[in-house]
Amino acid sequence: MKVDFYQVDVFTIALFRGNPAGVVLNADGLTETEMQAIAREVNNSETAFVFKPDDESHDLRLRYFTPNVEVPGCGHATLAACYVWARRQGFKKRDIKVKLSGGILPVELVGNSINRRIFLTQSPPKFEHTLVGNRKAKVLNAFRLQVQDLMKAPVQIVDTGDPKILVPLKDKNILNNLTPDFDKLIEISIETGCNGFHVFNLDSQNGTIRTNARTFAPAVGVNEAPITGSGNGPLGAYLVRYQLVNHDNRCLEFVSKQGEDMNRGGFAYVTVKIQNGNPVSVKVGGDLRVVFNTTIEL
């Protein structure tokens, strides 16, 4: 069996920046063992496997594997897979419906034939456990932080399809100098059932770039990801929920900058729709570049 494999840099217009994702286009017929082996071999933080639709309610189905395990969702790999799928179709379709383990979500292609940006509307925001007391202390200890390093906002699990523990920091210097204890982060992930941590600071109240961030997910084999949709989507909802940035009470649009510390800087474009002061939907997008395309023979 031969499968088509693409390597795509997401959240960037420049090659070898942003977050690389693997995409296997014709995954029908692959076993879980084979998918896991491919993901381990190409060694991206996530590889998306594209399957034919089950019915007319969607255009394609996706499954995701890190080098270690299958995961329920991945923002940047979804964008990469939908872009590659649309490109193979000659960009005849700009509004794509993709089926994930959690349901069917819309993806939108914008731009012209050369410069394209792609957006995923994530699952409705869910605000889960706030980490307090001993659990909050464990998070601080794992990141080698003090209470005074945090903003006056909760350490909380927020879910827009792939839950993340959000950790708000006072300034960028603290963010840049993080040296996490990954074993301790894995322990916290097991205790909370949340496999990732999205740590951020506010960049500006008025500029386009509002946040700087880093994402850590050692429990699924990704110590640090350069830039993530599954982290910046929950972050957008969190910023609205706790009134941390200015907005017009209808919509918050901002850019999150991430990956500079890994020399893979990129930008995530986030839109949060707001009703009665609450975030009700989140859309995350970015630019991307295909790095290479090859055939894997099994």
Neighbouring-strand partners of residue 121: 283
Single out the catalytic residue among 32, 46, 187, 224.
46
Residue 290 and residue 14: Cα distance in Å, rounded?
10
Answer yes or no: are the C-beta atoms of 134 and 105 closer than 8 Å: no
Is 32 one of the catalytic residues?
no
Strand partners, 197: 165, 216
Helix 229-241 crosses helix 75-88 at what angle (to 10 degrees)? 120
- What residues form DSSP beta bridges with 65? 47, 70
Residue 156 has, within 13 A of its CA and on its CB side, a CA count of: 19
CB atoms under 10 Å from CB of 154, counted, come to: 20
Catalytic (active-site) positions: 46
